[in-house]
Chains A and B, each alone.
Chain A
């Protein structure tokens, strides 16, 4: 029996996936673990690898098609099988049911209607059918003028001419306005847009900013960097330290690590730190889980792994969901001060600016210190200003004296 290649379920929340690209064609030889196709969910793109050596026998789901999790998208022929083995296989009916069930939540009747109309008999002359096939024209879109509404050659040719004209009329528009380019939305862009807008509309975003002395964290990083490098082979960054410190500060102020629910404010025990990350396709927030229980080296290791996965489009949905608080840094762009948008369903987000040497007054003397701006965006529905202030005070003390966090 040929092996069924199915749309994988990459996380608890995944119900369907879009096939972006088939890396193999029908008839291609495939080695185990070679990438068969690339799928896109709302959140990630993911490469699906071949489970076995074989030949890609039949592609059932084409590029740009979205199918529910578990749908058979292709058949892989084992080395001793041939294309004729596929003929015995009928698409398993239970998959159809799964499809209907999963789609129901979004588009209750569309798929079945579509199916019905596909199955209705088309009255068309043999010649009309043949020409339509050659033109790649769907006869459902053609109006028949022959006896009894039969589609005749002339109807197909008119429909094709119309299609050609419509296609032709689209081109001049583009040529007239060469400065414009329409990039259709990706699933990721839609998700970002939805999340960002909801964040602005559904929460009472409020901001609180502070500039802190980063002397100690810069110094500690300098000391720890070679040590961690040598011991773990990892290059630690200020961001790692900031995430560790912020995680520790959150533990002191549980109100920050909460969620707004219909029933009330949900306090979360574990701190899963989201770190905002820019991919070519857009913003994504991979998660370092249990950051409050992890050492700096582990945090750095997690961060590096996540960045690598992001660059290679290998995120699993679980890598990018479930954060309880997010930290966003703009140091790499030399941004001194900015605000961030709360990453729903979290209650707050911290925007960390670049460390910049500044004149500051210490003991009535002006000295130059590496200074760091941190800005908290918090949902005032949950977190009052005083609570946010207390958190920011703790954060400032931890940044300025990181040794406190081991207390």
Chain B
């Protein structure tokens, strides 16, 4: 027993628990320290609960649209407490799943807050127990940032954590921040009958996305009945008796809007509280930990993964980093690659991207762009979800696939093909000439690629 490499993983979220499992699979004796719930933000306060709520909204939408399919079942009614309880049961199941996976690998789980004593000692704040280890993987995640705006601290101003803990629906809500989280929250509310306004500082909603896709998305969101103000700079929140008033500026013009609740989704920052990173001299930059491409910090044997290292704060990135760190900790060299990281928005229509946007690609490459709209897809028509398209950006000379962007049904699942394609350095010919099953939405990928390699079949 004594000759096993000892690894402590601090944090049991999307970065930490896969790191723990990988290290255990590679033969290490692993201790995982989690101060809250296994599964981290993603499972408890992020991806999973949001998707659960979105799904309830989607069901309601399906019921409302059921007449189109020849099914009569009225308009449907929201029982928000049941919606919340269903969300919680999904979380509960997944959390138990993580726990079972960890114990199956004989990983000891300590519930507590970890503090670093030295590069091979971790102390548990609550019990003062000290754990001696050979390697440490820090995966403590992130917290929502606080906006420095007048009135931010008032009641009924919720961050994403509090949003997901809500037990009733307001009549109206203003969402500050039109990124992925903001628009997902907006759609949840909107589908359930809440009057929603989204304020976004940049030119478009989901501003990180390819512009054409972002604009198509924004158009759809507005059509659904969400009020959107872009280039909107929030100045302050005043708290009235029933309503909050949000003051914001669009250019020179000052505007106001009212709502029962205000949701702030403007970003997250690494959570390094209690860790005492300075005691062992971990290098930081803008309060994120600095790591190399082996996910190792400046202190040998101490690794950091997930939101604490900043960069792209996605669960799937944290997982990839966690695996990479675990392998290196065990002595198997592994290098992280951020070349093909998909990003997804789980609204309806879904938005998914990998690689460069058209705007980014144009700067560096001679490109051409292939598109295929879902209105030309048989499967999309069957689903009655014909809004959207697949867009492929390829370098002109060799046909390197630089970026793939999708808006439409199941885009977040379909992007995986493009992720594989880009990470394997496939060319548009490769995508175009792989036979895709019919009738599926995935044919749109093939057709978009074909439009850059000999011409599409199902588009004029």
**B427 interface residue (CB < 8 Å to A):** yes
Would you give the 0/1 interface string for A387-401, flagging 1 where the beta carbon is closer than 8 Å to chain B? 000000000000000
Tell me which residues from 283 to 336 in chain B have a Cβ below 8 Å from any Cβ of chain A: none
**Complex Cα gap A128–B397 (Å):** 13
Tell me which residues from 143 to 175 in chain A have a Cβ below 8 Å from any Cβ of chain B: 146, 152-153
**A253 interface residue (CB < 8 Å to B):** no
**A6 interface residue (CB < 8 Å to B):** no
**Complex Cα gap A43–B354 (Å):** 64
**A130 interface residue (CB < 8 Å to B):** yes
Which of chain A's residues has its CB closest to B423's CB? A147
Check B399–A130 contact: CB distance below 8 A: yes
Central interface residue in A125, A126, A146, by most chain B CB within 10 Å? A126
Which residues of A lie under 8 Å from residue B397 when comparing CB positions? 134
**Complex Cα gap A134–B427 (Å):** 14
**A208 interface residue (CB < 8 Å to B):** no
Would you give the 0/1 interface string for B424-454, flagging 1 where the beta carbon is closer than 8 Å to chain A? 1111011000000000000000000000000
**Distance (whole angstroms) from the CB of B283 to the closest CB of chain A:** 27
Would you give the 0/1 interface string for A87-126, flagging 1 where the beta carbon is closer than 8 Å to chain B? 0000000000000000000000000000000000000011
Which residues of B lie under 8 Å from residue A125 when comparing CB positions? 424-426
**B400 interface residue (CB < 8 Å to A):** yes
**A278 interface residue (CB < 8 Å to B):** no
Which of chain B's residues has its CB closest to A146's CB? B425
**Complex Cα gap A126–B426 (Å):** 5
Query: Which 3 pairs between the two chains have the least Cβ-Cβ distance?
Result: A125-B425, A127-B425, A130-B398
Which residues of B lie under 8 Å from residue A130 when comparing CB positions? 398-399, 427
**Distance (whole angstroms) from the CB of A130 to the closest CB of chain B:** 5
Central interface residue in B397, B398, B427, B429, by most chain A CB within 10 Å? B398
Interface size on A, residues (CB 8 A): 10
Which of chain B's residues has its CB closest to A145's CB? B335
Which residues of A lie under 8 Å from residue B400 when comparing CB positions? 127, 153
**Distance (whole angstroms) from the CB of B46 to the closest CB of chain A:** 29
Which residues of A lie under 8 Å from residue B427 when comparing CB positions? 126-127, 130
**Complex Cα gap A128–B430 (Å):** 13
Subset of 26 A-B contacts with CB under 8 Å? A125-B424, A125-B425, A125-B426, A126-B424, A126-B425, A126-B426, A126-B427, A126-B429, A126-B430, A127-B398, A127-B399, A127-B400, A127-B425, A127-B426, A127-B427, A128-B425, A130-B398, A130-B399, A130-B427, A131-B398, A134-B397, A134-B398, A146-B425, A152-B425, A153-B400, A153-B425
Give B contacts to A, CB under 8 Å.
397-400, 424-427, 429-430
Which residues of B lie under 8 Å from residue A152 when comparing CB positions? 425
**Distance (whole angstroms) from the CB of A254 to the closest CB of chain B:** 75
Which residues of A lie under 8 Å from residue B398 when comparing CB positions? 127, 130-131, 134
Which of chain B's residues has its CB closest to A130's CB? B398
**Distance (whole angstroms) from the CB of B366 to the closest CB of chain A:** 14
**Distance (whole angstroms) from the CB of B141 to the closest CB of chain A:** 28
Which residues of A lie under 8 Å from residue B399 when comparing CB positions? 127, 130
Give A contacts to B, CB under 8 Å.
125-128, 130-131, 134, 146, 152-153
**Distance (whole angstroms) from the CB of A148 to the closest CB of chain B:** 12
Known: A126-B426, A127-B426, A131-B398. 8 other contacts (CB 8 A): A125-B425, A126-B427, A127-B398, A127-B400, A130-B427, A134-B397, A134-B398, A152-B425
**Complex Cα gap A128–B398 (Å):** 9
**Complex Cα gap A146–B335 (Å):** 10
**Distance (whole angstroms) from the CB of A129 to the closest CB of chain B:** 9
Which residues of A lie under 8 Å from residue B426 when comparing CB positions? 125-127
**Complex Cα gap A130–B397 (Å):** 10
Which residues of A lie under 8 Å from residue B429 when comparing CB positions? 126
**Distance (whole angstroms) from the CB of B427 to the closest CB of chain A:** 5
**Distance (whole angstroms) from the CB of B361 to the closest CB of chain A:** 15
**Distance (whole angstroms) from the CB of A143 to the closest CB of chain B:** 15
**Distance (whole angstroms) from the CB of A310 to the closest CB of chain B:** 52
**Distance (whole angstroms) from the CB of B260 to the closest CB of chain A:** 52
**Distance (whole angstroms) from the CB of B253 to the closest CB of chain A:** 48
**Complex Cα gap A127–B430 (Å):** 9
**Complex Cα gap A126–B424 (Å):** 8
Which of chain A's residues has its CB closest to B398's CB? A130
Central interface residue in B397, B398, B425, by most chain A CB within 10 Å? B425
**Distance (whole angstroms) from the CB of A134 to the closest CB of chain B:** 7
**Distance (whole angstroms) from the CB of A146 to the closest CB of chain B:** 8
**Complex Cα gap A146–B400 (Å):** 16
Which of chain B's residues has its CB closest to A153's CB? B425
**Complex Cα gap A152–B337 (Å):** 13
**Complex Cα gap A106–B430 (Å):** 45
Which residues of B lie under 8 Å from residue A126 when comparing CB positions? 424-427, 429-430
**Distance (whole angstroms) from the CB of B392 to the closest CB of chain A:** 14
**Distance (whole angstroms) from the CB of A318 to the closest CB of chain B:** 55
**Complex Cα gap A302–B397 (Å):** 63
**Distance (whole angstroms) from the CB of B453 to the closest CB of chain A:** 12
Which residues of A lie under 8 Å from residue B430 when comparing CB positions? 126
Which residues of B lie under 8 Å from residue A153 when comparing CB positions? 400, 425
Central interface residue in B397, B424, B429, by most chain A CB within 10 Å? B424
**Distance (whole angstroms) from the CB of B339 to the closest CB of chain A:** 9
**Complex Cα gap A130–B399 (Å):** 9
**Complex Cα gap A134–B426 (Å):** 16
**Distance (whole angstroms) from the CB of B454 to the closest CB of chain A:** 16
**Distance (whole angstroms) from the CB of A131 to the closest CB of chain B:** 6
Which of chain B's residues has its CB closest to A131's CB? B398
**Distance (whole angstroms) from the CB of B421 to the closest CB of chain A:** 9
**Complex Cα gap A134–B395 (Å):** 15
Which residues of A lie under 8 Å from residue B424 when comparing CB positions? 125-126
**Complex Cα gap A66–B291 (Å):** 56
**Complex Cα gap A146–B426 (Å):** 13
**Distance (whole angstroms) from the CB of A124 to the closest CB of chain B:** 9
**Complex Cα gap A131–B397 (Å):** 9
**Distance (whole angstroms) from the CB of A270 to the closest CB of chain B:** 68
**Distance (whole angstroms) from the CB of A214 to the closest CB of chain B:** 76
**Complex Cα gap A404–B429 (Å):** 88
Which residues of B lie under 8 Å from residue A127 when comparing CB positions? 398-400, 425-427
Which residues of B lie under 8 Å from residue A128 when comparing CB positions? 425
**Complex Cα gap A128–B426 (Å):** 9
**Complex Cα gap A209–B398 (Å):** 75
Which of chain B's residues has its CB closest to A127's CB? B425
**Complex Cα gap A134–B424 (Å):** 19
**Complex Cα gap A130–B429 (Å):** 11
**Complex Cα gap A146–B427 (Å):** 16
Which of chain A's residues has its CB closest to B337's CB? A147
Which residues of A lie under 8 Å from residue B425 when comparing CB positions? 125-128, 146, 152-153
